Amino acid sequence: MKPREWLPSANTVIVYFFPFTDEIRESNRKVMSWPSNEWLHGRIDGHEFMREFSLFLNSRLNDEGYKSLVSGLDSRFKSTGFTSNWSERHAAYICGLGTFGLSKGIIMEKGTAGRFGSIVTELRLKPDIKKYNSIYEYCINCGVCAENCPAEAISTEKGKDHKRCSDFLDIVKEKHKPYYGCGKCQVGVPCENRNPKD
Ligand code: B12
Ligand code: SF4
Ligand code: SF4
């Protein structure tokens, strides 16, 4: 769904990225076959913080008289298997945060390891200038994300196999319920916490 399908009076989409801390990223580099506890908590509890932050910002905008909503938390949001009706990555790309990488994560000036949130609002804000022209511009195609992946879900020829990734996350969940995650394609890579093209 496009922004005005969520909110017909929308004028702006605000997208924000919360990068994981050095501690979370470093811990996940130690053993490459299994996610660190810090990463699992960053993924699940960190995202819970992101949700609270989004709801807070959204309520402030609404209180100020600008109708706004968090698409990812709206009752119409659907995420089934490998897709959803609100893509944080597409919104981030369009809003100027960064471009896709081989791993399919968005690579920004702050790298790729972290979580996105977004708000669709009536408030009119000046758009950020996109510093790129094509969808994979910040990826140097080094293939390190593919080498790191314990599920062999990424390849330089075929891109990313969502099913393999998802099956591995299911195995992690079995062991760590309600926590799950992996993110080996986001650590120990040139795009971990910076734009590798800089
Ligand atoms: C479903 C889902 C998954 C599925 C995979 C499905 C998928 N499509 O990636 C599973 C469970 C396997 C998964 C795994 C992970 N995920 Co996930 N996932 C999502 C979720 C909920 C929906 C994805 C979605 O909307 N797809 C819809 C399609 C239309 O959009 P898209 O997938 O974003 O874009 C793809 C296509 O459109 C295509 N594409 C891109 N450009 C173009 C251009 C053209 C012309 C064409 C034809 C196609 C095309 O490639 C894109 C990437 O696959 C999003 C949250 C959200 N609401 O966006 C998080 C999200 C994508 N996940 C995220 C993360 C971090 C992960 C993990 C690392 C988990 C972890 N923390 O350990 C892993 C691995 C990620 C990886 N390497 O991609 C982050 C990405 C952060 C980043 N830097 O980009 C997101 C945005 C969550 C967030 N709020 O931050 N995820
Ligand atoms: S590790 Fe290399 S190939 Fe993979 S997304 Fe990052 S820059 Fe691109
Ligand atoms: S999250 Fe793990 S299994 Fe999924 S693509 Fe990244 S490294 Fe591979």
Instruction: Give pLDDT, residue 134.
Output: 96
Instruction: Give pLDDT, residue 75.
Output: 98
Cα dist from 82 to 63, 93, 105, 162, whole Å:
35, 19, 14, 7
Ligand 1 atom with minimal separation from the 71 CA: 57
In DSSP notation, 67-129 reads -EE-GGGSTT--EETTEESS-HHHHHHHHTSEEE-TTSSEEETTBS-EEEEEEEESS--PPPP
Q: Rounded to whole angstroms, how far apart are CA atoms 103 and 95?
A: 20
Q: Report whether residue 113 contacts ligand 3, using a CB cutoff of 6 Å.
A: no
Q: Report whether residue 166 contacts ligand 1, using a CB cutoff of 6 Å.
A: yes
Instruction: Give pLDDT, residue 80.
Output: 87
Q: Can you give the pLDDT of all 198 residues of the chain as single tens digits?
A: 999 999 999 999 999 999 999 999 999 999 999 999 999 999 999 999 999 999 999 999 999 999 999 999 999 999 988 899 999 999 999 999 999 999 999 999 999 999 999 999 999 999 999 999 999 999 999 999 999 999 999 999 999 999 999 999 999 999 999 999 999 999 999 999 999 999
Whose Cα sits closest to atom 3 in ligand 2?
Answer: 141
Instruction: Give pLDDT, residue 74.
Output: 98
The pTM for the full model equals 0.94
Q: Rounded to whole angstroms, how far apart are CA atoms 166 and 20?
A: 21
Ligand 2 atom with minimal separation from the 196 CA: 7
Q: Rounded to whole angstroms, how far apart are CA atoms 114 and 20?
A: 5
Q: Rounded to whole angstroms, how far apart are CA atoms 101 and 12?
A: 25
The domain locations on the chain are 3-186
